[in-house]
A and B are shown apart, each in its own frame.
Chain A
Amino acid sequence: MSAATNETSLTGADIVLKALRDQGVEVIFGYPGGAVLPIYDALFQQNDIRHILVRHEQAALHAAEGYARSTGKVGVVLVTSGPGATNAVTGLADALMDSIPIVCLSGQVATHLIGNDAFQECDTTGITRPCTKHNYLVKDVNNLARTLHEAFYVAKNGRPGPVVIDIPKDVQFAEGSYRTPADSMPKSYRPQVKPDLNRVEEAVDLLAKAKRPIFYVGGGVINAGPVASQLLTQFVRMTGYPCTTTLMGLGAFPASDRQWLGMLGMHGTYEANLAMHGCDLMVCIGARFDDRVTGKVSEFSPNSVKIHVDIDPSSINKNVRVDVPIVGDAAHVLEDMIRIWKARGKQADKAALATWWEQIEFWRARDCLKYEKTSKVIKPQFALERLRAAISGRDDVYITTEVGQHQMWAAQFMPFDKPNHWMTSGGLGTMGYGLPAAIGAQVAHPDALCIDIAGEASIQMNIQEMSTALQYRLPVKVFILNNQYMGMVRQWQELLHGGRYSESYSEALPDFVKLADAFGGVGLRASKVDEVDDVIAEMIRVKRPVIVDMCVDQKENCFPMIPGGRAHNEMLLGPDEKVENATPEDGMVLV
């Protein structure tokens, strides 16, 4: 065959690597198997792209998410067919919910075997269709390069998300022609990034007239790149208005700024939630009115005019009706807002704003995150405050979390002045996310301090990744707030199920210090208040993977809390404030 001898023709596996290089990929996270051996062979024969061998495919996805979120680049994953692909599903769903750009390559059985229940065959495109932004099965090697480039375009443009490319093994062996990225634009997918300026004018007018305005900012501002955070900060400061961020938006606006009210929502601050409830103008930028944020939708911010900036039209008017929808990229929209605000000589209503801030400061004075100071037991909040003190002044700290109470405390107590330094599983709430995500962040920032704030239950879901950390000398820190409970579950059982702690006690825990040791890392434990600082200092000092077993109060609950089905002004502020009549019936069914 002449095509095979043509010098521009490459094998499918070589096309994959060439396309990855042309996309600027430096590192991929993966796990080998029969259906991807040709790609692994091609990997072996080159030095441009680094491969990080994880210990479970789910972790490859989370590591790629950590890498992507901490760099703004696309995270790349390589897994085999069948179980490799099914193990990847949780990570794909996680990336879809949190809008993280991922390209995941999976091996597939040879094209002539597809549909035959061949060894390690599964319908990967079928299984991953609802948990990816898009997916492809490449049956012709001559479509491979174009598909790969298109996948990167789709993953990072518009609302970012995970894309799967399923590549049968015969296609990896076959020879075909290469195409460049510029030659491979998708036919139909063109997300709108520039807003309708009339809408922006309208928004600016409303902003200037507002008496009780608030900025409600989400992960979309982080998706829009660091420049969006800078523009946001500039605009919020120009107006003098208060700003709150979602769990996913932490870092989009500096936490050290007085205009920041903290996180809002179920475990958000008193001042943020009451300001959302009482505002007359809400400017939502890159947030999606999630149920953790709105509480009872029918009573959500009942008297406000709502402006919503989002790149995805399907986020607008999904849960909450808004008055001024603006479709576009957050950075573009903010740039236009600032320009128009200045050009029209707009000013905030100073008197109204002063009254509004007075009200907010009154709420803030409740000091809703306060907790009992005691020397008898380590309060989880205390441990995090000490961690915060130990890292203050450093700007090379990346925090990830698992899922549970510790995650919420981390959100409340860790300060983020910049975007891309905070990685957490918000939408799917995936226990087991934090350690691999910290590994991904550490791969991208080898000299930084990468800390997974963990729970003793969650960490066991991907603890095997300690091996990965050791193998690649990644000095990640696992900071376990060990309360010997699935604390978040226990808290709900306490509030809503009569304190019947069904299966939420963490029985038969491993000795985490010995476990760290067994993996070849460093294990540290603090069980008394006066050990906390030393353990934290040692954790930071050693340049190796560390597990810290921070033995904290077993009974502590996370407040403030808006119980399911309640409105923002029905917050519980502490253990002594019980919910009257528990939760309304319709609230019980909510998670």
Chain B
Amino acid sequence: MTVRPASPAPTPAIERHTISILVDNEPGVLARVIGLFSGRGYNIESLTVAEVDRDATLSRITIVTSGTPMIIEQIKAQLGRLVPVHRVHDLTLEGPFVERETALVKVAGTGEKRVEALRLADVFKARVVDATITSFVFEVTGQGEELDRFIGLMSELGLVGVSRTGVVAMSRGPGGI
């Protein structure tokens, strides 16, 4: 096998990666992860965290980040050396995976606009989780761009506010992480 010197790539492209991290659910662990990103100037597009195994007190953090391949590699190595981190998975590299996000979208209005909002909600399979005579709260789940589109449409129809969960993700198929 011959190895040639790695030649500096011509301005490498920025890639978007979804990274899943299993951590001990202990105080400060989220601060460590966030501090790592802010301290080293990495991007966070989305970050979610919740306990996923009560017995073992493990939490899963899902981070969507972007950077050159060298930066992405650094991010994973830096995460990997945090003491409470058990495993780091780059879902984007490790094969097919599903990614979902949920938003609560409040829309206020009457008459034609209200009817149109309800119609579009149906198209996006959004559920009505709260309703008054003059407002709705929709719950919509999907890929980030789908939510963006739905929210974009609602902004024409009396959008009052949005709350989004951030991305959660999991690899496809029977294998666990």
Residues of A within 8 A of B (CB): 125-126, 129-130, 133-135, 137, 154, 158-159, 186-189, 202, 205-206, 298, 302-306, 312-314, 316-318, 321-324
Asked, given contacts A134-B83, A317-B73, whether A306 binds B5 with beta carbons under 8 Å apart, the answer is: yes
Q: Would B70 and A321 count as touching, CB distance under 8 A? A: yes
Rounded to whole Å, the gap between the CB of B142 and the closest CB of chain A is: 34
7 residue pairs, one from A and one from B, having the closest CB atoms:
A314-B77, A321-B6, A134-B83, A313-B77, A188-B86, A189-B83, A323-B3
Interface of chain B residues 1 through 33 with chain A (CB within 8 A): 1, 3-6, 8, 24, 27-28, 31-32
> In chain A, what residue has the closest Cβ to B5?
A305
User: A125: which B residues are within 8 A, CB to CB?
Assistant: 28
* B43 at interface by CB-CB < 8 Å: no
> In chain B, what residue has the closest Cβ to A191?
B81
The CB with the most chain A CB atoms within 10 A, among B8, B24, B82, is that of: B8
Interface residue from A158, A305, A318 paired with B74 (Cβ < 8 Å): A318
User: B24: which A residues are within 8 A, CB to CB?
Assistant: 187-188
9 chain-A/chain-B pairs, Cβ below 8 angstroms: A134-B82, A188-B86, A202-B1, A305-B3, A313-B77, A318-B77, A321-B8, A323-B4, A323-B6
Rounded to whole Å, the gap between the CB of B83 and the closest CB of chain A is: 4
* B169 at interface by CB-CB < 8 Å: no
Interface of chain B residues 74 through 111 with chain A (CB within 8 A): 74, 77-78, 80-86
Given the complex of chains A and B, what is the CA–CA distance between A314 and B27 in angstroms?
24
> In chain A, what residue has the closest Cβ to B36?
A130
- 4 more contacts with CB within 8 A, not counting A314-B77, A317-B73, are A130-B35, A313-B80, A321-B70, A323-B5
Rounded to whole Å, the gap between the CB of B119 and the closest CB of chain A is: 50
Rounded to whole Å, the gap between the CB of A176 and the closest CB of chain B is: 19
User: B82: which A residues are within 8 A, CB to CB?
Assistant: 134
User: A205: which B residues are within 8 A, CB to CB?
Assistant: 1
User: A137: which B residues are within 8 A, CB to CB?
Assistant: 27-28
* B39 at interface by CB-CB < 8 Å: yes
Given the complex of chains A and B, what is the CA–CA distance between A321 and B8 in angstroms?
8
User: A324: which B residues are within 8 A, CB to CB?
Assistant: 3
Rounded to whole Å, the gap between the CB of A477 and the closest CB of chain B is: 38
Rounded to whole Å, the gap between the CB of A340 and the closest CB of chain B is: 15
Q: Would B39 and A130 count as touching, CB distance under 8 A? A: yes
Asked, given contacts A314-B74, A317-B70, whether A188 binds B80 with beta carbons under 8 Å apart, the answer is: no
> In chain B, what residue has the closest Cβ to A203?
B3
> In chain B, what residue has the closest Cβ to A134?
B83
Q: Would A312 and B81 count as touching, CB distance under 8 A? A: yes
Q: Would A206 and B73 count as touching, CB distance under 8 A? A: no
Q: Would A303 and B5 count as touching, CB distance under 8 A? A: yes
> In chain B, what residue has the closest Cβ to A150?
B83
Q: Would A316 and B77 count as touching, CB distance under 8 A? A: yes
User: B70: which A residues are within 8 A, CB to CB?
Assistant: 317, 321
User: B77: which A residues are within 8 A, CB to CB?
Assistant: 312-314, 316, 318
Given the complex of chains A and B, what is the CA–CA distance between A313 and B85 in angstroms?
14
Rounded to whole Å, the gap between the CB of A25 and the closest CB of chain B is: 21
Q: Would A313 and B83 count as touching, CB distance under 8 A? A: no
Q: Would B74 and A317 count as touching, CB distance under 8 A? A: yes
> In chain B, what residue has the closest Cβ to A190?
B86
The CB with the most chain A CB atoms within 10 A, among B4, B5, B35, is that of: B5
User: B6: which A residues are within 8 A, CB to CB?
Assistant: 306, 321-323
Asked, given contacts A313-B77, A313-B81, A318-B74, whether A126 binds B31 with beta carbons under 8 Å apart, the answer is: yes
User: A302: which B residues are within 8 A, CB to CB?
Assistant: 5
> In chain A, what residue has the closest Cβ to B1?
A202
Given the complex of chains A and B, what is the CA–CA distance between A137 and B26 in angstroms?
11
User: A202: which B residues are within 8 A, CB to CB?
Assistant: 1, 3
Given the complex of chains A and B, what is the CA–CA distance between A159 and B77 in angstroms?
13
Rounded to whole Å, the gap between the CB of B102 and the closest CB of chain A is: 30
> Digit string of B119-161 for contact with A (CB within 8 Å is 1, else 0)?
0000000000000000000000000000000000000000000
> In chain A, what residue has the closest Cβ to B6?
A321
Rounded to whole Å, the gap between the CB of B55 and the closest CB of chain A is: 13
User: B73: which A residues are within 8 A, CB to CB?
Assistant: 317
Rounded to whole Å, the gap between the CB of A317 and the closest CB of chain B is: 6
User: B83: which A residues are within 8 A, CB to CB?
Assistant: 133-134, 154, 186, 188-189
User: B84: which A residues are within 8 A, CB to CB?
Assistant: 188
> In chain B, what residue has the closest Cβ to A209?
B2
User: A129: which B residues are within 8 A, CB to CB?
Assistant: 28, 31-32, 35
> In chain B, what residue has the closest Cβ to A313?
B77
Given the complex of chains A and B, what is the CA–CA distance between A387 and B35 in angstroms?
46
Rounded to whole Å, the gap between the CB of A106 and the closest CB of chain B is: 15
> In chain A, what residue has the closest Cβ to B23?
A188
> In chain B, what residue has the closest Cβ to A320?
B6
User: A189: which B residues are within 8 A, CB to CB?
Assistant: 83
Interface residue from B28, B74, B85 paired with A188 (Cβ < 8 Å): B85
Q: Would A314 and B81 count as touching, CB distance under 8 A? A: yes
User: A322: which B residues are within 8 A, CB to CB?
Assistant: 6
Given the complex of chains A and B, what is the CA–CA distance between A186 and B24 in angstroms?
11
Q: Would B78 and A314 count as touching, CB distance under 8 A? A: yes
Given the complex of chains A and B, what is the CA–CA distance between A51 and B162 in angstroms?
58
Rounded to whole Å, the gap between the CB of B149 and the closest CB of chain A is: 38
Given the complex of chains A and B, what is the CA–CA distance between A302 and B77 in angstroms?
25
> In chain A, what residue has the closest Cβ to B38?
A130
> In chain B, what residue has the closest Cβ to A139?
B27
User: A126: which B residues are within 8 A, CB to CB?
Assistant: 31
Rounded to whole Å, the gap between the CB of A380 and the closest CB of chain B is: 37
Given the complex of chains A and B, what is the CA–CA distance between A298 and B9 in angstroms?
11
Rounded to whole Å, the gap between the CB of B40 and the closest CB of chain A is: 10
Given the complex of chains A and B, what is the CA–CA distance between A129 and B74 in angstroms?
19
Given the complex of chains A and B, what is the CA–CA distance between A154 and B73 in angstroms?
23
Rounded to whole Å, the gap between the CB of A127 and the closest CB of chain B is: 11
Rounded to whole Å, the gap between the CB of A283 and the closest CB of chain B is: 13
The CB with the most chain A CB atoms within 10 A, among B4, B6, B81, B85, is that of: B81
Interface of chain B residues 42 through 87 with chain A (CB within 8 A): 70, 73-74, 77-78, 80-86
Given the complex of chains A and B, what is the CA–CA distance between A558 and B32 in angstroms?
40
Given the complex of chains A and B, what is the CA–CA distance between A398 and B8 in angstroms?
42
Given the complex of chains A and B, what is the CA–CA distance between A202 and B70 in angstroms?
22
Given the complex of chains A and B, what is the CA–CA distance between A322 and B83 in angstroms?
26
> In chain A, what residue has the closest Cβ to B32?
A129
User: B74: which A residues are within 8 A, CB to CB?
Assistant: 314, 317-318
